[in-house]
Structure 1
């Protein structure tokens, strides 16, 4: 199976690499080549000479023409073998116990739709979402577009971004729209599992909830007309603002109907025990859902992503196999039948493991095995046409996939890897994941979460991905939640220098990766465009905008201006 791009999520670099300390010590000064003469001292009259240079942020210009990436919906719908019917349903609001409906004989009527919310018994669903529809934008006051004071140190690269480099921001429906039972959306996995409660960029990445488009999820069930209208509106709004849309089909929010009973748990190590991916009807249902999206929106969307981070959900061979086949069928429908001219890929989560001691062969073997397991399950068959290694197939058929972070078994990683018995709880990763180097230092500046500022590891990471799977790399989510930001007053939240350092250093390393390492990095999307609900937690603020969840008032953070300014000042010369 061939692909046009490899989409991968950048979260953190784990492990550490060896540090070399010179005998002379001190910091190098690469730009100071001439000896410094002895200073001379003298008196002068004092005057205030430090005047601020005021610069204002500007929005990207509206598009003068809209490029088409596929056939119009009326033509694309001809590729369905059965006619798609559309309908509308009502809304489900917190606290409802019953909805009067007389159409009980209709398997897809209002009564059937309401029964999904009633039977789900969603104790965690207590509020409506923050956003439920698109609205006319409110002009940003000019005073809020003044660029913040510059940091003293800044990147020293001398490169411009390629003309086709994709730069933008990202968000997801579940984390922005919230647990929304409005306009026909039915329950998804996240409502069951999680307990709770003018941008200057050229691309906006968002997700579309499966249960909003197809409340009954399966092929042959009605399409929600209100959902189609909503995302037509959103896509057109993005285009009108001068941006391009990037759409993810499935971002953790699988339809709840794929899950039997209440035997759904959150895995302590890597994610959710999502049996839905192993459901025998999953592939056909997902492909049908993907086709509905493509036939309605592919004409205006240049980049599509099928799955977001499937490793967190595919706990056995059937789950991995279903994701690979579903992705492949959608890919071929888009390119072979619709003749789409955009790009379509899959988004992986991945921590990059490096050997703690690169001179230790067992450490190197552990790092290589870690990479192979993190990405190889999906990337090998999709991008290289390679079957899964028989060792992994046998393991996935009989044991759940998880990553244990304890010390390898006696004898090193090879001994652990050869012991496939259920008694070996370290299998299959057989590694110890740490975030300190061999001298005890953290690998980088720590955030409020698991993220570290590790630009050096990023460049090595991109090099490894590109040269292993031989497809362009898209850093489709990367962001930094500043430590304790949620506890600070608003002015201190907005002056988020650690996040600026994170973005600017990572983007500078991306440029070096492109020009010095020959890696085809096709783009980068900042996570996220606004402080959001980070799967049960509002305190981990990844956003480059602060948001008041009561008033919906938003404020740009320093990192927003710094990141956009960094990219805009490195545009290719005309």
Structure 2
């Protein structure tokens, strides 16, 4: 290697390193630059008369006012119905595995007997199945008592920033259908992959939070405390139980979500709709649901996106939902964390092409004025040693594999990263026509930015990284940890893999903004306090670690906006209530508790702190 070439390589790596967070070496204790010098060498001591003078000051949450007028984002369904093929609506009722009377209308391939057969086929994968909780009809909401809206005591140490959020900043909370709704076989809903995963739940609870019947009370509680946006998912298996184009639309589902959206708006909030949140209809597993658990070559689970009928069926479903609700919904998410449920290269191809088609349908045919995007996975890789070029290269490879396989074509109109094409043999090549069609088909970059992971290269004995059952490193092919170079964890640990890493969040936002040149919404972030479910209720409610997580992350978001020039459009916290976390109820991410017997909710301190932080930093009009 010639001297000039060697210098070029060093310059290249130097550029990479400059983009990373560096260790700042110093000596002595932490400086207190905010403190002025003392005026005396020693204090003066004196006696005074003691009296109890402290008194509790009551502060109340500020509710979101009901609107005096409402904004629309597209024409109503009556004007858009011609954009989709003629649809037939019907209803199916509910499935009861212990029913003594069964439907016999097998002459109708979409009749009640065929619908019941969907659940009968799923029966072997359901354990101790019950979908019946306390409620079987929608519960009318009641006002939240003022005593519940008294703000909790502040933590002693808190944010010290002086920034404001930009006008129109989005702030809200989220949940997803399979994690909160329950009623999974009621009113025509068919089984999904998420329902099958429930068999691994130690409590085998298919009822979850009964939000399907309690949604009005849940929305009432959020509006009363001041939440502005409510993010939820609509299950494909409720809207189209048979999943495919040409099958009937479930009238009860359309009416349910239309009423939910109307109630959100009536309470002064705005809805955010996700089209699929890990709940693929079981039909796309081709009667082999066990493949859900196979080791994939791209993400972590098999979402059946590679099924040859999935793309057209999903786009058809998305068009039905968009045409019905686009007039009232300002923010749309096509796929939730697609990387997590992409099985292989064909899955990735399906996701980006289906997303692009729905983006064009919304903006070019519906002429919607809202925003369309997707929610990308949360793990951002940072190098273990940012001054080591091989660690920087490993972190770049990790992020390219996690993010660029979707980000390159959708945001930049660029081909897949080389690291993806090298490791995934069945990837589908993209043509120039494909890339031209996909480029710019997202109005924001949605990131579920819970935490970060520390990346270093594999050792010589661990390479090459091949897709074998015993290879725990495939497909990212880097060493991942949550420990820093000198042995400290990167932050305070939760019950799961989430660590409190606010400064790295700011780093992540800068990376996304400068690489993909798109406005950003933090579409999920949250913190499951360790062993919270085992604590007495009063201790669960005073969840200071979760408050610390949210307030520190949002403080760094403000710095990202004002000091780094990053366009962050908003934040949506996960989750507004403790829910089923695809396995059990033990990792509690919620900002409200749920009594699993009575379904009663209680606000946690973190929800007050989250909303109060934003309202205190909203520029007065």
Structure 1: unaligned runs, 5 residues or longer: 1-15
Structure 2: unaligned runs, 5 residues or longer: 1-19, 206-220, 429-452
In 1: Cα distance, 2:454 partner to 2:293 partner: 17
In 1: Cα distance, 2:132 partner to 2:415 partner: 42
The correspondence of residues 155-170 of structure 1 with structure 2, limited to 5 A, is 155-170=159-174
Partner of 1:472: 519
Partner of 2:6: none
Greater RCO, 1 or 2 (C-alpha within 8 Å, sep 6+): 1
Match of 2:189, SS state, is coil
In 2: Cα distance, 1:40 partner to 1:312 partner: 63
Could you report, residue by residue, the CA deviation over 1:161-197 in whole angstroms, capped at 9, with x for unpaired residues?
Answer: 1111100000000000136100000010112233222
Contact 2:197–2:583, Cα closer than 8 Å, also in 1: no
In 2: Cα distance, 1:545 partner to 1:117 partner: 32
Match of 1:248, SS state, is strand
Structure 1 residues 389 and 102, CA, compared in 2 at 3 Å: closer, same or farther?
Answer: same
The correspondence of residues 380-395 of structure 1 with structure 2, limited to 5 A, is 380-389=408-417, 392-393=420-421, 395=423
Structure 1 residues 552 and 343, CA, compared in 2 at 3 Å: closer, same or farther?
Answer: same
Contact 1:70–1:299, Cα closer than 8 Å, also in 2: yes
Match of 1:175, SS state, is helix
Alignment TM-score, normalising by the size of structure 2: 0.84
Q: Quick check: 1:487 aligned with 2:514? A: no
More off after superposition, 544-553 vs 423-432: 423-432
Structure 1 residues 250 and 22, CA, compared in 2 at 3 Å: closer, same or farther?
Answer: same
Contact 2:395–2:456, Cα closer than 8 Å, also in 1: no
The correspondence of residues 345-360 of structure 1 with structure 2, limited to 5 A, is 345-360=373-388
Q: 2:290 aligns with which of 258, 263, 269?
A: 263
Q: 2:578 aligns with which of 528, 531, 537?
A: 531
Between the two proteins, the alignment pairs up a number of residues equal to 551
Match of 2:522, SS state, is strand
Q: 1:124 aligns with which of 122, 127, 151?
A: 127
The structural deviation recorded for 1:317 is 1.2
Q: Quick check: 1:242 aligned with 2:289? A: no
Contact 1:18–1:437, Cα closer than 8 Å, also in 2: no
Q: Quick check: 1:216 aligned with 2:242? A: yes
The structural deviation recorded for 1:406 is 10
Partner of 2:559: 512
The correspondence of residues 23-42 of structure 1 with structure 2, limited to 5 A, is 23-24=27-28, 26-37=29-40, 38-42=42-46
The structural deviation recorded for 1:138 is 1.7
Q: Quick check: 1:341 aligned with 2:388? A: no
Partner of 1:364: 392
Q: 1:186 aligns with which of 190, 193, 210?
A: 190
Partner of 1:7: none
Structure 1 residues 471 and 125, CA, compared in 2 at 3 Å: closer, same or farther?
Answer: farther
Match of 2:424, SS state, is helix
The structural deviation recorded for 1:365 is 0.5
Match of 2:378, SS state, is strand
Structure 1 residues 498 and 156, CA, compared in 2 at 3 Å: closer, same or farther?
Answer: same
Partner of 2:109: 107
Could you report, residue by residue, the CA deviation over 1:387-429 in whole angstroms, capped at 9, with x for unpaired residues?
Answer: 11455235323499xxx9997444599x757x89999874542
Could you report, residue by residue, the CA deviation over 1:227-262 in whole angstroms, capped at 9, with x for unpaired residues?
Answer: 000001100111111100000000000000001224
Q: 1:227 aligns with which of 235, 253, 257?
A: 253
Q: Quick check: 1:85 aligned with 2:76? A: no
Alignment TM-score, normalising by the size of structure 1: 0.91
Q: Quick check: 1:202 aligned with 2:206? A: no
Contact 1:185–1:213, Cα closer than 8 Å, also in 2: yes
Contact 1:410–1:416, Cα closer than 8 Å, also in 2: no
Structure 1 residues 539 and 67, CA, compared in 2 at 3 Å: closer, same or farther?
Answer: same
Structure 1 residues 129 and 480, CA, compared in 2 at 3 Å: closer, same or farther?
Answer: farther
Contact 1:451–1:480, Cα closer than 8 Å, also in 2: yes
Structure 1 residues 268 and 281, CA, compared in 2 at 3 Å: closer, same or farther?
Answer: closer
Structure 1 residues 372 and 40, CA, compared in 2 at 3 Å: closer, same or farther?
Answer: same
Partner of 2:321: 293
The structural deviation recorded for 1:557 is 0.6
Could you report, residue by residue, the CA deviation over 1:448-468 in whole angstroms, capped at 9, with x for unpaired residues?
Answer: 111111101100010001111
Partner of 1:3: none
Match of 2:106, SS state, is coil
Q: 1:253 aligns with which of 270, 279, 286?
A: 279
In 2: Cα distance, 1:517 partner to 1:276 partner: 40
Structure 1 residues 215 and 481, CA, compared in 2 at 3 Å: closer, same or farther?
Answer: same
In 2: Cα distance, 1:303 partner to 1:405 partner: 32
Q: 2:338 aligns with which of 310, 327, 335?
A: 310
Give the aligned CA root-mean-square deviation in angstroms.
Answer: 2.5
Structure 1 residues 133 and 405, CA, compared in 2 at 3 Å: closer, same or farther?
Answer: farther
Structure 1 residues 225 and 96, CA, compared in 2 at 3 Å: closer, same or farther?
Answer: same
In 2: Cα distance, 1:525 partner to 1:285 partner: 29
Q: 1:149 aligns with which of 149, 153, 156?
A: 153
Partner of 2:10: none
Could you report, residue by residue, the CA deviation over 1:42-65 in whole angstroms, capped at 9, with x for unpaired residues?
Answer: 000110111221111121101111
